[in-house]
A and B are shown apart, each in its own frame.
Chain A
Amino acid sequence: MTKRMGIAEALREAIAEEMRRDEKVFCIGEDIGVPGGWGGAFTVTLGLEKEFPDRIIDTPIAELGFFGVSCGAAMMGMRPIVDVQYGDFLFCAIDQIIDNIAKMRYMSGGNICMPLVIRAPIGATGRGSQHAQSMERYFTGVPGLKVTTVSNAYDAKGILKAAVREDNPIMIFEHKLLYGSKGMRAESGAVDATVEIPEDDYVVSLDKAAVRREGSDVTILGWLLMSHFAQEAARRLTDESIDAEVIDVRSLSPIDYETIGTSVRKTGRVIIVEEGPKTGSVGAEIAAGIMERFGEYLLCPISRVASADVPVPFSPLLENLYRPDVPRIVAAVRQVIQDE
């Protein structure tokens, strides 16, 4: 049996099921369980406080503080799911995330487990510069953290469950345009990420990329919203008889070079699509990783489609210029094919 749902709903169901399964699991964050409230900024925890009055913990507006609290609770054997309203606010908490959550195990000589999940919404969505950044890049190079992304509801549920059951700290990035939040919390410009989800319990591996479309001419790598745009670009390219393979990279730390490598060996051409400034991007790391491992299979230089090196602008026109789109991905693919 399956049922169709969006990412926000799938995450909510995953959280509820994991909290029923293990009483050590709890949620902590701002405005996540206020009766009559919103269930977090994007409705993910909506109504959960009714079933779990003591385990949906609303905090003061104090990101540094509640990330530190989560770190301490995790070391004592609890399994917190930490909700940050907007990924941008992770900067307030970054000392606790990088200096304590990521490093405690190593500093203790392997004597500490940090079973902690961080959920962070990202993406440019009409909110200007400080509620819109792509935050993945700031954490992918932090030893001790695992960084992953969810681009559809199936992954959202399975990845969240896998993350809760893992004894390492996991950061899950979610895109605001993919949640499928409803009613007053719906996002304009949202992209449909609903899928059929099995009713039975399942998990999705935290370190595997997913081939979303098979093809032989070029490999397009993306994640979150960009994996959807890449699939749309691939569909359009069929009109030009270009057969693109689309891989949702999903896990950004570690990166699944096995799946990526299989594709690169086949196509010899790589486009990396990323929302966020090109300089210092996750795509730069992936490009270097591909060069080191599969450089001999490349027929042409790796190409990146990313945002300009600017803060996220507000004006819808500028925001659309900032965010990579389907036509730009299509153009980049044409370019690498023509250049040969």
Chain B
Amino acid sequence: MSIQEENNQANTRGQLPYEREFLLSLYERMVTIREFEDGVKFLFLEGIMPGTIHQCQGQEATAVGVCANLRANDFITSTFRGHGHALAKGLTMQEMLDELFGATTGCCKGKGGSMHMGNMQKGMIPGIAIVGGGIPVAAGMALAYKMEKSDRVATCFFGDGAVSEGAFHEGVNMAAIWNLPLVFVCENNLYGASTHISKVMRDTNIARRVASYGIEGRQVDGNDVLAVYEAAKASVRQCRKGAGPAFLELLTYRVTGHSRRDACHYQPKQEREEWAAKNPIERFGKLLKEKGIIDDKGLTTIKTRVLQQFEEAVENAKRAPLPGPQDLTTDVYV
């Protein structure tokens, strides 16, 4: 029996071995990501918000389960699909909405935008929107941690599409040969933009592929937040004690478009329905209710609270100060 299966059993038998507050914080964080993404999609489609968007509805458990194991100074790298990672790493809806509106109060002063969300105080460099680009960078962050002899751990989020990039091979290999404290988190959502994984890989088991670098890869149900949390916990612990790197392939699904107005016609109906039944937020809510952690009313209260925070943040973002000509040429050099 795999660790994941053991955890699943543990989760369905008896008491959950976690503090109630912790479980509810995981749930609320996932709801925050979902409501943020749905709200942002509306603002974008209505033309209220500039730019383009790449969203992560359906993948909330990966970001939340992994980041719950990280300290503020354990940096992560993310991608163009980074809103969920940012919220999971502690960025506020306000600093992110301000950024999406191009305001100077945004987390990157309006110079990053949707694809480059980050906050150095919270352990997240700006998202790297070139597919695979963050993989060697994360290895460099981990190299710095190793050289400074700290127990910090770097975490690198990327999708299944990035596995085809040369940067993946180069970055994973260097992390392996130097035993770097780096947790690779591959969010396998089956599609690189609109192209199905089966069209770009003969063997679609990514975790198995990394064995060729001398690293153990683990496949985990990426829509089970506790399974993700436990797997990441073991990976982070392994890296903190100097036995890194670790590699997780989190099986998940993007229930929204690749970007902008993508209607996902390339995703078969049956496939969409199967994954809809594995909605990570509904699944976790159901588990919490079964275990008597919270009831329907409590879940509704959480959602209402999150929605209210989001609406307030949107109103603030609409009034947030916009940059002027004087801001164009600052921040290029120190």
Which positions in A face B, CB cutoff 8 Å? 26, 54-55, 57, 59-60, 62, 64-78, 95-96, 99-100, 104-113, 143-144, 146, 166-168
Contacts and interface: CB of A to CB of B under 8 A. Distances in A.
Given A100-B128, A107-B126, 8 more contacts: A62-B170, A64-B136, A65-B169, A70-B140, A73-B143, A95-B130, A96-B137, A107-B112
B334 A105 contact: yes
A26 B144 CA distance: 10
Given A72-B141, A73-B141, A168-B333, A108 B174 contact: no
A94 B120 CA distance: 24
A73 B144 contact: yes
B51 to A, nearest CB: 14
B331 A96 contact: no
B75 A76 contact: yes
Contacts of A74: 140
B136 A68 contact: yes
Interface in B86-120: 106-112, 116, 118-120
B244 to A, nearest CB: 14
B126 A72 contact: no
B47 interface: no
A105 B143 contact: no
A76 B126 CA distance: 13
Contact of A106 (B135, B166, B331): B331
A303 B317 CA distance: 54
A287 B170 CA distance: 40
A104 B119 CA distance: 12
Contacts of B166: 64
A76 B144 contact: yes
Nearest to A104: B126
A109 B137 contact: no
Contacts of A59: 174
Contact of A78 (B144, B154, B171): B144
Contact of A66 (B111, B118, B136): B136
Residue from B108, B118, B126, B154 whose CB has the most chain A CB atoms within 10 Å: B126
Interface residues of B, number: 45
B188 to A, nearest CB: 22
Interface of B: 75, 77, 106-112, 116, 118-120, 125-126, 128, 130, 133, 135-145, 147-148, 154, 166-167, 169-171, 173-174, 177, 330-334
Contacts of B334: 105, 113, 166-168
26 contacts: A54-B147, A57-B143, A59-B174, A60-B170, A60-B174, A62-B169, A65-B173, A69-B140, A69-B171, A72-B137, A73-B140, A76-B141, A76-B144, A78-B147, A78-B148, A95-B133, A99-B128, A105-B331, A105-B334, A107-B116, A109-B111, A110-B109, A110-B330, A111-B118, A112-B125, A113-B334
Nearest to A70: B140
Contact of A71 (B107, B110, B140, B145): B140
B108 A111 contact: yes
A65 B110 contact: no
Nearest to B110: A109
A100 B138 CA distance: 12
A65 B130 CA distance: 14
Contacts of B120: 108, 111-112
Contacts of A108: 108, 111-112, 116, 118, 120, 125-126, 331
Given A76-B144, A95-B130, A71 B137 contact: yes
A75 B174 contact: no
Contacts of A167: 334
A72 B139 contact: yes
B111 to A, nearest CB: 5
B80 to A, nearest CB: 12
Nearest to B323: A109
Contacts of B135: 68
Nearest to A105: B331
